Amino acid sequence: MRKADEFTIANTPITSIHLMENAAEAFVKSFSKDEGDENKNIAVFCGKGNNGGDGLAIARILSSSGYQNIKVYVVDFGKKQSDDFAINLQRLAGTKCKKYTINSLIDVKNITADIVIDAILGSGLNKPLTGDFAKLVQFINALKAKIYAVDVPTGFFADGILPKEYNGILAYKTICFQRPKINFFFPESITATENFEVVNIGLNENFIQQQHSDFYVIERSDAVKILQPRKRFSHKGSYGHALIIAGNTNTMGAALLCSMACLHAGAGLTTAYIPETGLVALNTLLPEVMFLPRDEYSRIENPSKYQAIAVGPGLGISEVNEKLLERLFDFEKPLVIDADAINILGENPDLCSRIPKNSILTPHIKEFDRLFGKHDNWWDRVQTARKQAEKLEVVILLKNQYSFVCAPNGKVYINETGNPAMAQGGMGDVLTGIIASFIAQSYSSVDASILACYIHGKAGDTLAKNNIVVTASNVANEISHELKNLICFKK
């Protein structure tokens, strides 16, 4: 972002002070949607860097938009002020905002506020908060006001490992500029900010797109680009045959959900390789899906007839299933590997080197740590996922509220769709079925993972508009509709 600031300033008529004005205006636009009451007491805390400069401009714009009770507190603990901070301090002079300076903690005693705008330190944070900064932040948190942070909550690192003990601002919402900070996607960030929103401030988008980055947020346009329309004169053979190896006596539902999702995501043919005990349920629930009986003596006779094989949901951990997995590896065809198939790998790490290239592993956090070792923070976990994806030449789709698709070339695609209504068993089985379906339809492993993650969460988002909980089968049933919506955006 810093490079994009510099590029935009150097190559467009926009100056840095203009950019700060854009940022402040974008902040106010978002803030005033949430906080329409112009009579509330608003305290704007400003450091002396550019984050503080934003805070000063925000205070001025709020005041000129009709907010009546704005107090600006300039935090002056002896740091040098930035040029744009100085300009905005002058511009504040003609407004109705009341300005105070905090030179030491003695100056904060009588402060009260309904709303705090935190513009003390932003992305310039280069070390954890200590001394007066830490104490001031503690004081602000104790005000029990609703805190809106500008760009980054003071004390929160935008990237890198987050300290175990967070002592920064506890924001209700962070309104950040142009791109989300990578650390907002990790669960640890919930202590720093309950919500975040990204606002456009007019940085040069072409330049941002051209910048090298290993992290990409998946956008609807990416999914639209990947998704291919179904063709005239196509037939079921055009959309591939997927084999779902899943289910066991007590977990047959996993196989059904996975097969159901595979069907609704468009595979031409789907076969469930499940124990005989699942046959009646399969035929009753999913008459379109074919059955291949699975027991310890059965074999997949002709693996080449399947364009995609998914293995793991509700499979069970046993020696028989370990042998089954090994035989699948011998086919040397990319697999979708989920749930118990990952747990089997966790118990037999030597098998990892035999995973066929371009396979897709879809662990949730526990499966991931069982396979690759315990991690005590998400930054490290994602770094391990990236390294292992490169080393094993596979896609690792690390599932969470925000999922991370780690490609074999080291790139990480972050999925933002999905919501807490989806936090229910079987949801991952559905994701696996969707991926298998896309692989059967000839999408690459990376594209299939990106598209599946996006559409899975999007289906959940649509359903959550009218439901507090959405079940896995509801999501599976919604997939085809979401794909249809997406294809409408294709030119």
Ligand X SMILES: NC(=O)C1=CN([C@@H]2O[C@H](COP(=O)(O)OP(=O)(O)OC[C@H]3O[C@@H](n4cnc5c(N)ncnc54)[C@H](O)[C@@H]3O)[C@@H](O)[C@H]2O)[C@@H](O)CC1
Axis-axis angle for helices 83-92, 50-64 (nearest 10): 20
End-to-end C-alpha distance for the chain, whole angstroms = 31
Would you give the binding string for ligand ADP spanning residues 332-351, x where CB under 6 A is met? Answer: -------x------------
Single out the residue of 379, 384, 356 nearest to residue 368, CA to CA: 384
Q: Is 402 annotated as a binding residue?
A: yes
Q: Which is nearer to ligand ADP, 155 or 457 (CB)?
A: 457
Among 48, 264, 399, 458, binds ligand ADP (CB under 6 A): 399
Residue 419 binding ligand ADP, by CB under 6 A: yes
| Rounded-to-integer distance, Cα 249 and Cα 100, Å | 70
- What is the residue-wise DSSP string for 48-98? SSHHHHHHHHHHHHHHHTT--EEEEEEE-SSPPPPHHHHHHHHHHTTSS-E
Q: Is 364 annotated as a binding residue?
A: yes
How many Cβ atoms sit within 10 Å of the Cβ of residue 334? 20
Contacts of ligand ADP in 345-384 (CB under 6 A): 364
Rg value, the chain, Cα: 26
3-state secondary structure of 289: coil
Q: Which is nearer to ligand X, 89 or 152 (CB)?
A: 152
Give the residues across from 245 on adjacent strands.
273, 311
Residue 168 binding ligand X, by CB under 6 A: no
Q: Which residues of 120-149 are buried (b: 16+ CB within 10 A; e: fewer)?
A: bbbbebeeebeeebeebbeebbebebbbbb
Among 401, 444, 477, 485, binds ligand ADP (CB under 6 A): 401
Among 42, 44, 46, 152, binds ligand X (CB under 6 A): 152
Among 151, 429, 478, 482, binds ligand ADP (CB under 6 A): 429
Q: Do residues 84 and 53 lie in contact, with contact meaning Cβ atoms separated by under 8 Å? A: yes
Q: Is 297 annotated as a binding residue?
A: no
Residue 428 binding ligand ADP, by CB under 6 A: yes
Q: Is 158 annotated as a binding residue?
A: no
33: buried, middle or exposed (CB in 10 Å: 19+, 13-18, 0-12)? exposed
Q: For residue 81, what is the DSSP state?
A: P
State in angstroms the smallest separation of the CB of 198 from ligand X: 12
Give the residues across from 243 on adjacent strands.
271, 309
Dihedral of CA atoms 488, 230, 307, 296 in degrees, nearest 10, equals 80
| Rounded-to-integer distance, Cα 390 and Cα 385, Å | 9
Residue 389 binding ligand X, by CB under 6 A: no
Q: Which does 95 bind (CB under 5 to 8 A by kind): ligand ADP, ligand X, none?
A: none
Q: Is 189 annotated as a binding residue?
A: no
Residue 423 binding ligand ADP, by CB under 6 A: yes
Closest residue to bound ligand ADP by CB? 428
| Distances from the Cα of 125 to the Cα of 130, 150, 178, 284, angstroms | 12, 13, 18, 59
3-state secondary structure of 347: helix
Q: Which is nearer to ligand ADP, 256 or 339 (CB)?
A: 339
Would you give the binding string for ligand X spanning residues 227-256, x where CB under 6 A is met? Answer: ------------------------------
List Cβ neighbours of 191 (8 Å cut-off, separation of 6 or more). 166, 170
Among 125, 289, 308, 446, binds ligand X (CB under 6 A): 125
3-state secondary structure of 153: coil
Contacts of ligand X in 19-38 (CB under 6 A): 19-20, 23
Q: Which does 84 bind (CB under 5 to 8 A by kind): ligand X, ligand ADP, none?
A: ligand X
Q: Is 273 annotated as a binding residue?
A: no
Q: Do residues 49 and 126 lie in contact, with contact meaning Cβ atoms separated by under 8 Å? A: no
Contacts of ligand X in 39-98 (CB under 6 A): 47, 49-52, 54, 79, 82, 84
Q: Which is nearer to ligand ADP, 86 or 190 (CB)?
A: 190
Number of H helices, E strands in the chain: 16, 17
State in angstroms the smallest separation of the CB of 158 from ligand X: 8
Q: Is 375 annotated as a binding residue?
A: no
Q: Which does 50 bind (CB under 5 to 8 A by kind): ligand ADP, ligand X, none?
A: ligand X
Would you give the binding string for ligand ADP spanning residues 450-479, x where CB under 6 A is met? Answer: -------x----------------------
3-state secondary structure of 307: coil
Residues that bind ligand ADP (CB under 6 A): 339, 364, 399-401, 403, 418-420, 422-423, 425-429, 431, 457
Residues that bind ligand X (CB under 6 A): 5, 16, 19-20, 23, 47, 49-52, 54, 79, 82, 84, 121-129, 133, 150-152, 177, 201
- Binding-site annotation, residues for AMP: 399-403, 428
